[in-house]
Amino acid sequence: MRSVLLYTAGRLAIFAATAGVLALFGARGFLLLLLALLISGIVSFVLLSGQRDRMSAAVTSGLSSQRDRFQRAKTREDA
């Protein structure tokens, strides 16, 4: 769960920084949001790749354990 929160915080920080820089250059309104989303997505894809991999592994292992618990409960119920 920690890796998910760290990745999300990183994405939000990069978005906020990008929006701030674009606002300094004069972008406003919808254009500001659109450009900030596009640029921050590209930047975070590059800068947060390691964190994204850790988050993906955490989510996958969490889903796997949930699936295993469900299968055990289903087997116990059928018996």
Distance CA(52)–CA(9), nearest Å, equals 12
Q: What is the pTM of this model?
A: 0.75
List, for residues 5-47, the tens digit of each pLDDT value: 999 999 999 999 999 999 999 999 999 999 999 999 999 999 9
How high is the pLDDT of residue 1? Answer: 79
Residue 22, Cβ neighbours under 10 Å: how many? 19
Q: Is 36 exposed, middle or buried (0-12, 13-18, 19+ CB in 10 A)?
A: buried
Report the domain count for the chain.
1
What confidence score (pLDDT) does residue 21 get?
96
Residue 26 is part of which domain span? 2-78
pLDDT tens-digit series, residues 29-40:
999 999 999 999
Q: What residue spans of the chain are helical by DSSP H?
A: 2-24, 29-47, 49-78
